[in-house]
Amino acid sequence: MVKGWLSWVRSDDKAIINVLEEQAQNLLKATSTLVELMTKYDNVAEYLSKITDMEHEGDEIAHKLFNIIDQTFVTPIDREDISKLASSMDEILDYTQGAADRFVLFKIKKPTLYMSEIAKVLLSASQEVYNAILQIRNLKGTRDLVGHCNNISKYEHQGDTIYRNAIAELFETNDPIEIIKLKEIYETLEGALDRCADVADVIEDIRLKYT
């Protein structure tokens, strides 16, 4: 364990933290765009293109981060933790793009209320992910990290409840094709929230190691 972690910050440390923050900000933009897509539900293909661009940007950011790690002898956080954090955020973005893609692929006429609700919860969870990542720069000086992680967990549970209600109602319908399409979208949105919970778990581990 590094004593006085980040009480002074090396240039490589700054670069790693900066890229993590960049990744979290890009994720927040993508989930915000997904909510906008569902709210307006017009020019859906254009929104999908925007989110896909953000997903590609996320891949580039992750690649940039791993390059920095490879060239850094001593990292501010364990390499494994940095990798888990970056990979988990990248997976949230993948699921977000996947949900948007299915609206176009399945020719969904209109998102259900449940879909919009889960997307909004995902946006709230992503905001907490972003807020938590910002706190990593100064772990010793923050008391907010646990709160952000708890909020992510709360949103993940909230999303689970909406998901279960959506699936229960979905299976009351008689159109098997529609059931398959909508169920896959629900599962993709719920998967994004699960990955937010993964980020919270990694951040909690980091807090325990370095504070």
Distance CA 164, CA 67 (A): 40
For 11-210, CATH gives 1.20.58.220
Confidence of residue 74 (pLDDT cuts 50, 70, 90): low
pLDDT at 103: 98
Residue tagged 């440390």 (tokens) = 13
Structure tokens at 147: 């709160």
Asked if 97 and 52 count as a contact pair (C-beta separation under 8 A), the reply is yes
Distance CA 15, CA 184 (A): 38
> What pLDDT, in 10s, does the model give residues 103-156?
999 999 999 999 999 999 999 999 999 999 998 877 765 678 889 999 999 999
Q: Report whether pLDDT(23) > 50.
A: yes
Asked if 89 and 23 count as a contact pair (C-beta separation under 8 A), the reply is yes
The pLDDT mean for the chain works out to 90
pLDDT at 73: 63
Asked if 87 and 65 count as a contact pair (C-beta separation under 8 A), the reply is no
pLDDT at 69: 81
Residue spans per domain, the chain: 11-210
Our CA dihedral for 153, 39, 57, 45, rounded to 10 degrees, sits at: 140
Torsion angles phi and psi, residue 63, rounded to 5: -60, -40
Q: Report whether pLDDT(5) > 60.
A: no
CA atoms within 13 A on the CB side of 139: 20
pLDDT at 14: 81
pLDDT at 207: 83
pLDDT at 31: 98
157 or 11: which leads in pLDDT: 157
Q: Report whether pLDDT(3) > 50.
A: no
Strand ranges inside 8-89, DSSP E: none
Closest to 200 measured CA to CA, from 139, 141, 155: 155
Confidence of residue 78 (pLDDT cuts 50, 70, 90): confident
pLDDT at 77: 74
Closest to 54 measured CA to CA, from 8, 111, 97: 97
pTM of the model: 0.91
